[in-house]
Amino acid sequence: MSFQATTSQTVGPYFQIGLARFYIDDLTGPGISGERVEIEGRFFDGDGQPVPDGVIEIWQADAQGKYAHQENSQELESIQNNDPQKKEFAQAHEGRGVFRGFGRVPTQADGSFRFKTIKPGRVPAPDGTLQAPHIAVSVFTRGLLRRLVTRIYFPDEPGNAEDFALKLVEEGRRHTLIAKKLSDSRLEWNVVLQGTDETVFFDC
């Protein structure tokens, strides 16, 4: 049997009706280890105007570089090999201590958005290297018939120079993927849909 993937369509201006139930702006919680970080930014169109009707989804590994997904063989390892106390804790909290890795936030009237998460660990690349810590991002808005895919990297990260995905990007544009440090626990990362500082988007 062979099919073709269904055509993507825009979220339109009214996505809040359908997507608000699973807005998640804080991925941290009790029992979740890792360095807390708040990421805030703004979303701009090709005229430099704020996009007030966008929605941003993030997907990331936990602080140990493990994704909450069956295909991450390391996940099983983490549950089985870690000390029994931690395992007990996870069971007692029925998943509440497990990092789920998914966030979704809408933009505000001024195009701003923010979420609180933990800095992810490094995950393997298909060429056998380790990727620098990063967050996978989907961007949706009225006017986009297909989502845009991009990534958030962390500043002052030695792994950035050798990162599998960053190396695909011409040097002059890499800064659009790397968040700026505002303070020890606050980062700024913007989405620019068009123009001179246009964010790097990936075909994914």
Which residues, 65 to 94, sit near another protein by CB under 8 A?
A: 65, 67-69, 71-74, 94
Interactions with another protein, residue window 110-129 (CB under 8 A):
123-128
Q: How far is the CB of 4 from another protein (least distance, A)?
A: 5
Q: How far is the CB of 181 from another protein (least distance, A)?
A: 23
Q: Please report, in angstroms and rounded to a whole number, the separation of the first and last CA atoms in the chain.
A: 24
In the list 116, 149, 155, 175, the residue contacting another protein (rule: CB under 8 A) is 149
How many angstroms separate the CA atoms of 185 and 116, rounded? Answer: 10
How many angstroms separate the CA atoms of 43 and 112, rounded? Answer: 6
If binding is defined by CB under 8 A, does position 187 make contact with another protein? no
Pairing of strands 191-192, 134-141: unpaired
Sign of CA dihedral 33, 204, 164, 124: positive
Q: How far is the CB of 184 from another protein (least distance, A)?
A: 25
In the list 76, 92, 146, 181, the residue contacting another protein (rule: CB under 8 A) is 146
Residue holding tokens 């970080």? Answer: 37
If binding is defined by CB under 8 A, does position 27 make contact with another protein? no
> Among residues 62, 59, 142, 151, which one has the least CA distance to residue 106?
142
Q: Indicate the Cα dihedral angle 86, 89, 93, 97, nearest 10°.
A: -30
If binding is defined by CB under 8 A, does position 201 make contact with another protein? yes
In the list 113, 131, 153, 187, the residue contacting another protein (rule: CB under 8 A) is 131
Stretch that binds another protein, among 79-87, 153-161, 162-170, 182-190 (CB under 8 A): 162-170
